[in-house]
Structure 1
Amino acid sequence: MIAINNLTFEIGARALYDEANWHIKPGEKIGLIGANGTGKTTLLKIIVGDYKPTSGTISMSKDITLGYLNQDLLSYASDKSILHVAMEAFERQNQLHTEIEALLKKLETDYSEDLLNKLSDKQHEFEALDGYNIEYKANEILAGLGFADADQERKLSTFSGGWRMRVMLAKILLQAPDILLLDEPTNHLDLPSIVWLEDYLRSFEGAIVIVSHDRWFLDKVINRTVESRKGKLTVYAGNYSFYLEEKGLREEIQRGEFKNQQAKIKQEERLIERFRAKASKAKMAQSRIKQLDKLERIDDVDDDNPSVNFTFKFGKQSGRNVTAIEGISKSYPNLQILDNADAIIEKGDKIALIGANGRGKSTLLRIIAGADKTFEGKCETGYNVTQTFFAQHQLESLHLESEILAELQSFAPKHSDTELRSILGSFLFTGDDVFKKIKVLSGGEKSRVALAKALTADANFLILDEPTNHLDMASVNILIQALQQYEGTFIAVSHDRYFLDNIANKIWFIEDQKIKEYPGTYQEYEEWMSKRKYEPKPAPIPQLQQKEVKKEPVKQQPSEDKNKQLKKLNGDLTRMEQQIADLEKEVKQLESKLTEDGVYNNPAKLKETNATYQQKQSSLNQVQQQWETLAEQIMELEA
């Protein structure tokens, strides 16, 4: 269908592509992947003719139709209804409809046979093109992308950029081109719409090329992966998971070939040094030098998967209950979000809050964060909870005149410059980039700086609203690793299912204006939901029961006043904190000892050390529970 041969594309002195080759075949569903800046979007623009290559050719049949979804379509404006805009995809059908209407008007006064024949021909072509069903098709696709029936008559200009992009996607899908070129199609979709799009694309008969950072989406849709890297295009015959496995095997082979070649080169160099000193062997030495110069060198494998080398730091542990939501009701004009809803966030919870747009996910996060107080009911923050809230509007809190590194230094003085630069490198700010002023950054770059700030906060509770926006796959993996080793509590909203599946141990969703909970990973939740849909009578939602902690009243002796008792309890609390610190130190020492060769390879020592470790860990847990109970008693007395 499309043949790309020896493609070179230069931007200034930099070659984005250098004699790259790639053939797109009928029916292939391809994921075009690569780090930011490797030219994925540029390649799509070259294919559709927006950019001209420096050299090389792109060949395709003249009758091939292309459908191209790109972020530039966000600027498209119209005062027509979104249904009308979507139906603009049916160009010939719309033209025929207009001509048929004009002919019918003429027939009111002119009954000539010529006019009747023209009308018959037009109606026959209109029917052959399924013109009578185009409105139904447009309705169906707009509904799949999340538009209610009433919304379809609203003007396009009244929708936000993300919803306008959905209309443009609907229009492109309705065109049914031979090849779909989709640049980040899931960026502005909620989870139900992404699932609908996956099903649609799997059944699409033409070829598809998708640029996306959503690896779960790619795994569901594509059957080929093309990696853009170092100016070349490398094809892998499978989905994204297959690509990762296959690339790992290829790199292992390459790494072995590199080591073997390096050993051979060193051996040749030693021989040359020995022969060079002898006149009788000088000719042989020169011959070997020429052979080495002609040798095609094998490159070592680059590490494209950096790992997290910073740790979260927060000064104090929270109490058992981080946030308690009791009887909350929240509504907007004509929309009830929550109605007498209850929920609790406990220490150590890693919660993914999911659902369709408009169900109140971001509203609930703002309530939990204390940024929205216009609700009925109670949302109480627990003892010793320190929180940080990341949301897109947090970009406004950045200091525009500050340099990126200085912004983090002033916010997180406990972190070293090396740690801060490592965090910024994870979010695509490397080298001198960290000295850029924030005012010159794009919206996406500012979002990444705000996320980096959130991760350096001295907080034991993170509230994250769409943290994966504007991140490539490598940066999403860094964020996953960071959250996996985070010892505090967090709740996150995201449409990236791979991200959610790797960070969450609980799923929250809003249903019937209530907050409901599934105790498990995202993949387990999906499997449960798919079974639930087909059950005639849905089983009760498996929800963790909130434990009711019965607090014993503080018993006071008649002769002991409140202040004296508080002083005694605070003294006990201080001694207990020291006990916790000592036990934590012992546990860490034992953890380190368990990895020592002398212990690990000695079954008797290993068993003895492990038993001691388990005993200390159990003691630590008990003391921590006693500390929480004591802290609650102190709070009651101070109230």
Structure 2
Amino acid sequence: MTIMKIRGIQKSFDEKQILKNAELDIKKDSRIGLVGNNGAGKTTLANIINGSLTPDQGRIETFNRSLNIGYLKQSTEYAIHELGDRYSLTDGNLFQLSSRLGLNKEIDLANPDWGKLSGGEKLKISLAGVWASKPELLILDEPTNHLDLQGVEWLIDELKIFKGAVIIISHDRYFLDRTVTEIIEIEDGATSLYKGNYTSYRKEKERLYEIQLHQYEIQQKHKQQIEQQMANLKNWSEKAHRDSTKQGSASERRQIGYKEYHRMKAKKMDNQIKSKMKRLNQELEKNEVKQPKEEAKVRFEFQDGRKKGKRILEARKLSKSFGSRCLFKESHFYMNHGERMALLGKNGSGKSTLIKILIGEEKTTSGEVWVSETLKIGYLSQDVSDLPPNKTALEYTGLSNRESIGRARTIFANMGLKEEKLIVPLSHLSLGERTRVKLVMMLLAEIDLLILDEPTNHLDLASRESLEKTLLNFHGSILVVSHDVYFQEKISDKILWIDNGKISRKEFGMKELNSQNSLPNPENKDKTEELMVLQNEINATIGRLSFMSKDEPGYEQLDKLLSELLKKKRELQ
């Protein structure tokens, strides 16, 4: 049963057309993945479907006047501000859903302090609020960006039994493969439908690309042959025209019809040229195969960090509390130049707060943090709403030197931000595009320590993979908070772990952690830490499954392993 029909949707912002012809049908049990590059118009289309944005042209037909739509927006800040107006925060159902998502029970949902909540905690409250409204159509815009594994697995399980329709905007390959049955791709403002999950979509997309490329190459060869024939005919025609005007000798002039013969010959060739050109244009107009568009390849480039002494920062007896809520206490750790550390901990454990302490935005409750005076830190926060909305990307760089502006334009282009994106206000850019602008600011500087808080949030897949490669070539130090398991495995060689109110340094990275069955004694004796290790094994298995299709050798074995790990985790809990 179709609950909504969307036809010919067009939408422009400041003469820039985002959607040119968006069309899709939403059925009662649809599981739709909405994909496309950053800025393609995914969130714009979601807002139009939700009714919060009016299209310039096109129509939306709903077959239920009271269709209840639940919309989880991409930015938790927007969702949180709307939550109190739309949902009852004291609803017992909301408490129950929040708990199942793994939300910290110390949070007072009736009167929460939003400023003290982590991105993951805000998202869980927003998601619980949307779910509690019992929607018939659920729109989820990047729902896994701040969710830990417990929240992701809960969401996957709930979507399996959810009776309504679901539209998911996500760059999480594993999540899409587990949740959707069809993909709607937005490219150049138009929509295309692909049946199956994300892996099936990628395979079909590649197959269609190869077919179109082959047909295009055949057509180009045929076009070149016709053009060569016309070039030959044109040369012969010009020669015939020249011969028709020759005076010749007296005896030649006596030959009847000499000039007329060459004149008719030239005219015939001219007609042949016109006829071939007409047939070619008709053929191209009717059956033209356009050159297939290659996927954008994003390149990141950092300037090499300046060499420093071995130790760049150190914390001694570090403690931090907010009122009666203690995040961590009496903690000691350090970081050396060139190390790439993964900052791990559950949602609400204090990861973002620790980062703010390191960059000087938050004070310690007790203890101290020493940071080298010459250390230059670049910080990418998970919130992109702090950019000046009325400035353009070029204005935001603050550059005035012609050479520096030229380099900035090159980096913007390498990151997939075209010239027209650089001259519009930042508020007109998508969240993914704003994240790229922030990254450019870091690329332009000589950074010694990169602190990245969920750097892959809002980035499309090409950008994520390119960023991984670049960070591996970065010569400075890196501290990363990310729920992207595969990203952390590639990047980290050390771990900074927040657990049970303590921050501890581990002399191995995520890859080594996930390859171990358990941590060395005596840490393995602690049940909480054992659960953390088990969860990271689950994360690693999910990361590997996300790059495999169901028919690949080993997929079934890994899927079985994941089920066993989840069962073991439930038993331990």
**Normalising by structure 2, what TM-score?**
0.70
Offset of residue 282 of structure 1 = 4.3
1:255-293, Cα deviation, whole Å (9 max, x unpaired): 222222112111111112223425444444333222211
Structure 1 equivalent of residue 444 of structure 2: 456
Structure 1 equivalent of residue 295 of structure 2: 304
- Structure 1's 490 and 265: CA in aligned 2 closer, same or farther, altered over 3 A? same
Offset of residue 360 of structure 1 = 1.2
- Corresponding residue SS for 1:228: strand
1:230 aligns with 2:188: yes
- Corresponding residue SS for 1:299: coil
Structure 1 equivalent of residue 25 of structure 2: 23
1:503 aligns with 2:509: no
- Corresponding residue SS for 2:210: helix
Q: Is the 8 A contact 1:64 1:178 kept in 2?
A: no
- d(CA) in 2 for partners of 1:58 and 1:140? 35
Q: 2:44 aligns with which of 42, 45, 51?
A: 42
Structure 2 equivalent of residue 262 of structure 1: 220
Structure 1 equivalent of residue 138 of structure 2: 180
Percent of residue pairs identical: 28
Q: Is the 8 A contact 1:317 1:385 kept in 2?
A: no
Structure 1 equivalent of residue 560 of structure 2: none
Q: Quick one: higher RCO (CA 8 Å, sep 6+), 1 or 2?
A: 2
Structure 2 equivalent of residue 204 of structure 1: 162
- Structure 1's 534 and 15: CA in aligned 2 closer, same or farther, altered over 3 A? farther
- Structure 1's 205 and 533: CA in aligned 2 closer, same or farther, altered over 3 A? farther
Q: 1:141 aligns with which of 79, 89, 97?
A: 97
1:313 aligns with 2:304: yes
1:487 aligns with 2:475: yes
Which AA in structure 1 matches 2:335? I
- Corresponding residue SS for 1:254: helix
- d(CA) in 2 for partners of 1:80 and 1:285? 70
Q: Is the 8 A contact 1:319 1:384 kept in 2?
A: no
- d(CA) in 2 for partners of 1:179 and 1:399? 34
- Structure 1's 22 and 408: CA in aligned 2 closer, same or farther, altered over 3 A? closer
- Corresponding residue SS for 1:519: coil
Structure 2 equivalent of residue 110 of structure 1: none
Structure 2 equivalent of residue 334 of structure 1: 324
- Corresponding residue SS for 1:76: helix
1:514 aligns with 2:507: no
Which AA in structure 2 matches 1:467? P
- Structure 1's 519 and 256: CA in aligned 2 closer, same or farther, altered over 3 A? farther
- d(CA) in 2 for partners of 1:372 and 1:326? 16
- d(CA) in 2 for partners of 1:533 and 1:69? 42
Which AA in structure 2 matches 1:338? F
1:76 aligns with 2:77: no
- d(CA) in 1 for partners of 2:6 and 2:531? 58
Which AA in structure 2 matches 1:11? S
Q: Is the 8 A contact 2:378 2:447 kept in 1?
A: yes
1:422 aligns with 2:410: yes
Q: Is the 8 A contact 2:300 2:414 kept in 1?
A: no
- d(CA) in 2 for partners of 1:264 and 1:329? 74
Q: Is the 8 A contact 1:395 1:447 kept in 2?
A: no
Offset of residue 420 of structure 1 = 1.6
Structure 1 equivalent of residue 555 of structure 2: none
Offset of residue 141 of structure 1 = 0.8
- d(CA) in 2 for partners of 1:401 and 1:19? 29
Structure 2 equivalent of residue 353 of structure 1: 343
Structure 2 equivalent of residue 567 of structure 1: none
- Corresponding residue SS for 1:356: coil
Which AA in structure 2 matches 1:341? S
Residue ranges of structure 2 left out of the alignment (5+ in a row): 238-265, 534-573
Offset of residue 210 of structure 1 = 0.8
Structure 2 equivalent of residue 154 of structure 1: 110
Offset of residue 477 of structure 1 = 4.3
- Structure 1's 242 and 379: CA in aligned 2 closer, same or farther, altered over 3 A? farther
- d(CA) in 1 for partners of 2:459 and 2:313? 29
Q: 1:291 aligns with which of 279, 304, 320?
A: 279
- Corresponding residue SS for 2:211: helix
Q: Which has the higher helix share?
A: 1
Return 12-21 or 355-364, whichever deviates more.
12-21
- Corresponding residue SS for 1:172: helix
Which AA in structure 1 matches 2:191? L
Structure 2 equivalent of residue 631 of structure 1: none
- d(CA) in 2 for partners of 1:65 and 1:5? 15
Q: Is the 8 A contact 1:308 1:481 kept in 2?
A: no
Return 440-449 or 229-238, whichever deviates more.
440-449
Which AA in structure 1 matches 2:327? I
- Structure 1's 511 and 298: CA in aligned 2 closer, same or farther, altered over 3 A? same
1:601-635, Cα deviation, whole Å (9 max, x unpaired): xxxxxxxxxxxxxxxxxxxxxxxxxxxxxxxxxxx
**Normalising by structure 1, what TM-score?**
0.63
1:186-212, Cα deviation, whole Å (9 max, x unpaired): 456455434432332244343311123
Which AA in structure 2 matches 1:405? L
Offset of residue 63 of structure 1 = 8.1
